[in-house]
Amino acid sequence: RFPSTSFFPSPSCSRSKSYFYFIALPALFKQDLQDTEAEEGGTVTLRCELSKPKAPVEWRKGDVTLYPGLKYEMRQQGCAAELVIYDLELEDS
């Protein structure tokens, strides 16, 4: 038998709010980028596979962040991420 007081708030009781915080585990590389050979003036596609689908990906060349445009195209589907580089130049290596 339960005590006469209720464990559930009555409509006259004020309700408190609870907040839950989750720390997301980082995405890891399941498959690293592989060295690729291509000809000057051509196109190359670099691929990697991540441990989490649709994880945010930032492509960089050294300290420079790459952005989509005429030179670069970024694709992502599920755990696979690709960087396409058009009109290859020696500086792209």
Domain ranges of the chain: 29-92
Q: What is the pLDDT of residue 33?
A: 76
pTM for this prediction? 0.69
Tokens read off for 57: 């990906």
Look at the block and give the residue holding tokens 């000057």.
40
CATH number for the region 29-92 comes to: 2.60.40.10
The Cα–Cα gap between 38 and 46 comes to 11
Q: What is the pLDDT of residue 30?
A: 83
Helix (H/G/I), strand (E/B), else coil: 90: helix
- Which residues have C-beta within 8 Å of that of residue 26, sequence separation ≥ 6? none
pLDDT tens per residue across span 8-55 = 555 555 566 677 777 777 787 787 778 888 999 999 999 999 898 888
Is the distance from CB of 30 to CB of 79 less than 8 angstroms? yes
